[in-house]
Amino acid sequence: MTIETVVPRCAVRSLRKRYGGVQALDDVSIAFLPGEVHAILGENGAGKSTLMKILAGAESTDEGFVEIDGQEVRQASVKEANANGIAIVFQELSLYPDLDVLANLFANREPHRVGAVDRRAMARIAVPVLDELGLHTALDTPVEELALHDRQLLEIAKALITDVKVLILDEPTSSLSANETERLLGVIRTLRDRGVTTILVSHRLEEVSAIADRVTVLRDGRFVRTVPMAETTMTELVTDMIGRPPEDIPDLAHDEAVPVAGRGLRIRGISTARGLDAVDLEARPGEILGLAGLEDAGVQQLMHVVFGLVRPTAGEVEYPDGRGLPATARHAVRRRIALVPADRRRDGLMLEDSVEVNVSSVKAGVLGGYGFRLARRAMQSGAVDSMSSLKVKFGSLGNPVRNLSGGNQQKIVLAKWLQIDPAVVLLDDPTRGVDLGAKLEIYEVIRALAARGCTVLFSSSELDEYRHLCRRVVVFRRGRVTSLLEGDDVTQHRVLHAMNV
Ligand SMILES: Nc1ncnc2c1ncn2[C@@H]1O[C@H](COP(=O)(O)OP(=O)(O)OP(=O)(O)O)[C@@H](O)[C@H]1O
Ligand SMILES: [Mg+2]
């Protein structure tokens, strides 16, 4: 039987979707076969999430339709799509932070027992699914207390407890560690064996090539092609995505360091109540120092200390301005210390506010309470400058940030700090969910900051990134610094090894 004779499990036919001036999807048709893993690739803003939302009943279409098992269907909500066997894990997490793990898993669909919600019955269904995903947490933990990667796993668990025929995963691994990603890929393989169709959106090409049977590329809202994974190469796929052959990413690890005058960051004996144990390190002015470690190894905690969010129980930090720890994050901002947090939606953005307000917010903070009103003009032009250096696609300045694609939201978090000429920049996974082209742009921006004398601490869940940016990488384990990699030793393999041993 050839592919053409199989009735697709689901399909989209001639989809068109427009948002204001943006044609998010333009005549897109794709068939998804029973039991295949089908990856969707494309740059930030290519229309991937829009397509997924339409398939899952979360968004309407202007033209075209969705088909399931050869029949056209109308799905006015996620609930209706669920009833058709389609479940989605959104790119941006949609959990209720104040409810606990179990309540979130069954939100809007609790099994009832004479009026009362039956938590025991829910737990019986939930536990095997959580085990399979390796999410080890008490069922009554409030979701707001979970780390980002655990929330991401919980979203996936939520999709899996329903009886799915089609599972849509929109960048499910963007905050998962290598081990968690492996486990998720294992779960996807099991589902494939059961005949479930998985549609996977990811910017991580390695995992796409490891798991996908077929892949479809979108560019600027248009369908480029669908191809079996075995019949194409990474270079071809990237060329399809960006419309030209990819450039090599230069490594910085092997370059000679150019000394920059001034003071950097000196961290001495920092300990915290939750995690850090006598951490010493020094980052020079103009240096991009890598910080690597597994989840909870202490990298994020150290960044929070330096930004004034967490009070250490012991130790001192000396900053480029010669002063010690900032009393609060607000003080940190005034002293030109910047933090790009891993969880942009929770810590980095005001989603309902416009692009302009978001990009200008830090500068307004630096200028004080009246800053925003007084310097509006100047800030507007500054906002446009810092966004154009990152090539942010944002529609208009008044557009709420919520409407931007995931990768463009990430760029906004970075863009707002560019306006204050920071002295210290803390980057916690700054390229999460960002496409390859945009990554190169972000690398350029980080290097330019360092060349101006800024001290940068950089951490990434994609270990390959260190060698593009860092000459030195400090490795953390269980709250302590356990090794330092330099120059030729800054490789994906060495970093991974040092994190685990
Ligand atoms: N609700 C909305 N209102 C206005 N514009 C929107 C809305 N949703 C999406 N867009 C725009 O449609 C385009 C496609 O967005 P989409 O989220 O589908 O991109 P994507 O391929 O998922 O990108 P990313 O890789 O960054 O997540 C973008 O230009 C985006 O700004
Ligand atoms: Mg998206």
- Pocket test of ligand 1: the residue of 50, 240, 412 to mutate, having most ligand atoms within 8 Å of its CB, is 50
Q: What is the pLDDT of residue 484?
A: 97
Nearest to 316 by CA among 278, 272, 269: 269
CATH of 3-242, one of 3.40.50.360, 3.40.50.300, 3.20.20.120, 3.30.360.10: 3.40.50.300
Return the percent helix, strand and coil in the chain, to nearest 5: 35, 25, 40
Q: How many CB atoms within 10 Å of residue 469?
A: 25
Q: Which ligand 1 atom sits closest to the C-alpha of 91?
A: 27
Residue ranges of the domains in the chain?
Answer: 3-242, 265-500
Q: Which ligand is nearest to the CA of 51?
A: 1
Q: Which ligand is nearest to the CA of 395?
A: 1
Mean pLDDT by 10 residues, the chain (501 residues): 75 95 94 97 93 96 96 92 92 86 83 66 91 90 88 89 91 80 89 94 90 96 97 92 78 66 94 95 96 91 95 97 93 91 80 84 65 54 76 85 88 86 94 84 90 94 91 95 94 89 77
Q: What is the pLDDT of residue 372?
A: 45
pLDDT (tens digit per residue) in 319-348: 999 999 999 988 998 899 999 988 877 777
Q: What is the pLDDT of residue 344?
A: 77
pLDDT (tens digit per residue) in 129-147: 999 888 899 999 999 998 8
Q: 23: CA distance to ligand 1 center in Å?
A: 9
Q: 47: CA distance to ligand 1 center in Å?
A: 6
- Pocket test of ligand 1: the residue of 203, 390, 405 to mutate, having most ligand atoms within 8 Å of its CB, is 405
Long-range contacts of 143-146 (CB under 8 A, 24+ apart): 143/95, 143/96, 143/97, 143/98, 143/99, 143/100, 143/101, 143/104, 144/97, 144/98, 146/101
Q: 67: CA distance to ligand 1 center in Å?
A: 23
Class of CATH domain 265-500: alpha beta
Give a three-class secondary structure readout of 318-353: ECCCCCCCCCCHHHHHHCCEEEECCCHHHHHCCCCC
Q: What would the two tokens of residue 91 be? A: 């790119």
**Which residue CA neighbors atom 28 of ligand 1 most closely?**
45
Q: Which ligand is nearest to the CA of 18?
A: 1
Q: Residues 288, 490: contact at Cβ < 8 Å?
A: no
Ligand 1 binding pocket (C-beta < 6 A) is 19-20, 22, 24, 42, 44-50, 91, 393, 403-408, 435
Nearest to 350 by CA among 369, 364, 331, 336: 364
Q: What is the pLDDT of residue 327?
A: 93
Evaluate whether 3-242 and 265-500 have a shared fold: yes
**167-178: b or e for each residue (b if 16 or more CB lie within 10 Å)?**
bbbbbbbbbbeb
**Which residue CA neighbors atom 7 of ligand 1 most closely?**
403
Q: Which ligand 1 atom sits closest to the C-alpha of 17?
A: 12
